[in-house]
Amino acid sequence: MRIAVAQFAAGMDKPANLEKITALAGRAAEAGARVAVFPEGAMCDFGKSTDELHGQAEPLDGRFVHALSELAARSSLTLVAGMFESIPGDRLIYNSAVVVDPGKGVIGAYRKHHLFDAFGEIESERFRAGREDPLLVEIDGFVVAVVICYDIRFASFIEHAADGGAEVLLAPAAWVAGPLKEEHLSVLARARAIDNTIYVAVGGQIGSTYTGRSVIVDPLGATLAGLGDAEGVATAEITRERLRAARARLPVLAQRRAAAAALESRR
């Protein structure tokens, strides 16, 4: 399966963002991709205030997801994209990612579990944390986990997805720029791949606030494709043969499961 990561700078104009998504999805489809990962906040940027962002938030059956469903069908692509999800009766919203299949429509949605209260940011003032484990869906025969941005810093959270069968990790991101932050994203994407012998694909925001650096990493931590800080699409082929070979050479996943089973048997 060929996967794509697509990065662009989202503004507060949702129709303009959809135009960008449509153009980048077209490039991904032309390259032969079957799934494309777009940034966290692909629907719109984070805005300047809670009220501004609250006004932009939509339900999962709103216009943005409907437009993604139509785009997925037209392009024969599974789309993974970040959005801001409204919560009826709540001044806070969810930072969500939706997975849209070209034939079935929405096949899953994930709400960011770990909010970005770090490096001077306090995301919890604007968002409600999701309670779900990483979302698991099937795409072209691969078991795929979906998380969002800051979640990738939490190794045990990603391990839980791999222990549950995940073979690929897709992560929409809006990685905030700052000293050494670009290196953090690169290191973490490779570390989560190596920790769990899984493929990792991060699709990131660009612009003055964010790092870009979208990347696709193989199960032994080798970078297969990536982008710098410009708008664009990168693709890479992922194969079950490469996954099996990596897990045979580095059986950490099987060993972790065996250790957990042994511990459970002693209780």
**Residues involved in catalysis:** 40, 112, 149
Q: Report the SS3 class of residue 192.
A: helix
C-beta separation of 132 from 101 below 8 A: no
Question: Cα dist. 184→119, 120, 131, 177, 203 in Å?
Answer: 13, 16, 25, 10, 15
DSSP state of 125: G
For residues 131 and 129, what is the distance between their CA atoms, to the nearest angstrom? Answer: 6
Residue with tokens 């570390």: 191
Q: Hey, what amino acid is at 52?
A: E
For residues 198 and 189, what is the distance between their CA atoms, to the nearest angstrom? Answer: 10
C-beta separation of 145 from 110 below 8 A: no
C-beta separation of 227 from 255 below 8 A: no
DSSP state of 132: P
Closest CA to 252 of 183, 190, 197, 191: 197
For residues 243 and 64, what is the distance between their CA atoms, to the nearest angstrom? Answer: 34
Within 8 A by CB and 6+ apart from 160, the residues are 133, 134
For residues 192 and 208, what is the distance between their CA atoms, to the nearest angstrom? Answer: 27
Task: Count Cβ atoms within 10 A of the Cβ of residue 152 and give its class: 0-12 exposed, 13-18 middle, 19 or more buried.
Answer: buried
